[in-house]
Amino acid sequence: MIYTICFIFLASALALTAFRLFRGPSAADRILAIDLLAVITGAAVLLYVLVSGERAFLDVVVVLGVIVFFGTVALARTLSRHR
């Protein structure tokens, strides 16, 4: 019951972030929205770990965080080079 509410929260967060991703006035807004999409995905994976008891999915969160860090930094470098 509680977990259903949590998943509804995360789904609305995904919808709002997708709105900013499609709407975003500048490229930096879109990069930030992609970053937050990955964080919401990590939160959904953690909720799935809580619901199902599959502990192996904890590694997914760690790897996702590191990969998204490199992606965001690379996109920011590209943005600052591209003048």
Partner 1 sequence: MSEILIQIFALAGSLAVLLAAIGLARFPDFFTRTHAATKASAFGIGCLLVAVCFAFPSWNVVAKSVFAVIALFLTLPVASQALADAARNHEESEDDDDDDPL
Which residues would be at the binding site for partner 1 (CB under 8 A)?
A: 2-3, 5-7, 9-10, 12-14, 16-17, 19-20, 26-29, 31-33, 35-36, 39-40, 42-43, 46-47, 49-50, 53, 55, 58-59, 61-62, 65-66, 68-69, 72-73, 75-77, 79-80, 82-83
Counts for the chain of helices (H) and strands (E), in that order = 3, 0
The DSSP letter of residue 73 is H
Quote the least distance from Cβ 34 to partner 1, whole Å. 10
Quote the least distance from Cβ 11 to partner 1, whole Å. 9
Quote the least distance from Cβ 68 to partner 1, whole Å. 8
The DSSP letter of residue 53 is -
In single-letter form, the type of residue at position 70 comes to: F
